[in-house]
Amino acid sequence: MSEAERKATPEEDERQIGKDVGGDVSVGGEAETVDDEEVTAIFYKTKVVEFLGRSSQIILQNDNGPCPLLAICNVLLLRNVIDLSLDISEVSQQKLLSLVAERLLDSNSNLEGKDEDYVSNQQRNISDAIDLLPCLARGIDVNVLFRKIDDFEFTPECAIFDLLDIGLYHGWIVDPQDMETANAIGSKSYNALVGELVALDTRSPKEDKYLPEDDSVDFAAAATAALGVPSPCLSRSLSCNDPQILVLGHLIRNFLKDNASQLTVYGLFCLQEGLKERELCVFFRNNHFSTMFKYNEELYLLATDQGYISQQNLVWEKLNEVNGDTMFMRSDFKQFMPEVQVNHSWDEQNGMNEFLAVEGSTSGNSTFKIFEVMIMAICLNNLRISAVALDGGTRVSSPLELLIDYLVLITN
């Protein structure tokens, strides 16, 4: 049977629906098993940054992906509760897992005065969390709910954040002022919403008359059983033919599609209001986990892309818009501007002598050559003038000076 003829499995249908209605989000399934030898062989680059008056290492990410391990480690490093030498330039994944495991044990070691059942339960939770730590390196399954910033379906992996006293937040929240959408979504999770949309897609063609004309999303009905959630017909004791159910499905679908960035304006407001000042936490968005910090009532995401490793003072990314341009910030939370190197030194007398020597040694087409170089010099001068704004108004070379510099360069 060809790939085109093969019927999609329910799990594949569910993943496709997630892409259709709301972008990539981790739902369903089990965390991928990580081989011990593979873990040992993985290394991450590090970068020393200034944070609130002290130097700290942060871990950089070389590939786009979830990797909650790095987000957790960076929170712990900036909190100064785990330590990496400032002299190293990379760290193994195994070392990071060991540091997190040690922190889990240290932060939950004070059990004096607790009853026996509590102690036994806590020790079991810590043991389970340590066993699950390797999953943090590959990504964990999270199922968001849309009511508040810490609204996640509880999983054993999410318990790791609680045991480390690290907040896990998102901003994919429905605005309660949009009462129709808020009522349609209610307390349902992302998985449950996708399940309802799949169930609606089992309707017969005659039911299409109830759908708005702009509805064009094709959902796979086979995923209904795999999700294990009741269809809207069962949960509301109404027929799938009922127009009310179809309208609810349309509201849900539009919310997921219109907010595919997984951050709403209301959600951003809730994050700004909900985080404590100077709180370090982990932010989940678009299947990615970032280290987030609130400082002077503003939200910042730690810039951990390995591509920024040479930009020593590029440390944060400001989170103040849902779909806006990124603004990078320095370690002091002021806007980052790339460094521009400008050469301020020029020896006028030596430069003129070199220019005359070059002019005397040129061939018969020297006039054309000099004209060509002059045009290039003027272009270079315009570029240097543009750099003045970034260099505090420092004087730049004139076109003649640039011409002389260039002629000397091409004759050496």
> What residues contact 117, with CB distance under 8 A and at least 6 apart?
none
Inter-residue contact 167 to 281 (CB < 8 Å): yes
The model's pLDDT over 132-180, given as tens digits with 9 standing for 90+, comes to 999 999 889 899 999 999 999 999 999 999 999 999 999 999 999 999 9
How high does pLDDT run on average in the chain? 77
Q: What mean pLDDT do residues 240-250 have?
A: 79
What is the CA 36 to chain-centroid distance, rounded? Answer: 27
From the list 9, 5, 13, 19, the residue with the least C-alpha distance to 220 is 13
Backbone torsions φ then ψ of 207, nearest 5 degrees: -80, -10
> What residues contact 305, with CB distance under 8 A and at least 6 apart?
60, 61
What are residue 50's DSSP bridge partners? Answer: 55
Q: Say if residue 73's pLDDT is above 50.
A: yes
Provide the phi-psi class of 80: left if phi over 0, else alpha when psi is between -120 and 50, else beta: left
Q: What mean pLDDT do residues 365-374 have?
A: 55
- For residue 122, the surrounding DSSP H or E stretch is helix 116-132
Q: pLDDT at position 352, please? A: 53
Inter-residue contact 351 to 404 (CB < 8 Å): yes
Could you tell me the end-to-end alpha-carbon distance of the chain, in angstroms, rounded to an integer? 68
Amino acid identity, position 18: G
So which residues are the catalytic ones?
A: 67, 288
Q: What mean pLDDT do residues 222-240 have?
A: 41
What percent of the chain is predicted at pLDDT more than 90?
A: 51
Of the pLDDT bands very low, low, confident and very high (cuts 50, 70, 90), residue 223 is very low
From the list 84, 131, 134, 76, the residue with the least C-alpha distance to 107 is 76
Of the pLDDT bands very low, low, confident and very high (cuts 50, 70, 90), residue 370 is low
Q: Say if residue 37's pLDDT is above 90.
A: no
Delimit the domains of the chain by residue range. Answer: 10-24+173-258, 36-172+262-329, 348-411
The Cα–Cα gap between 194 and 217 comes to 12
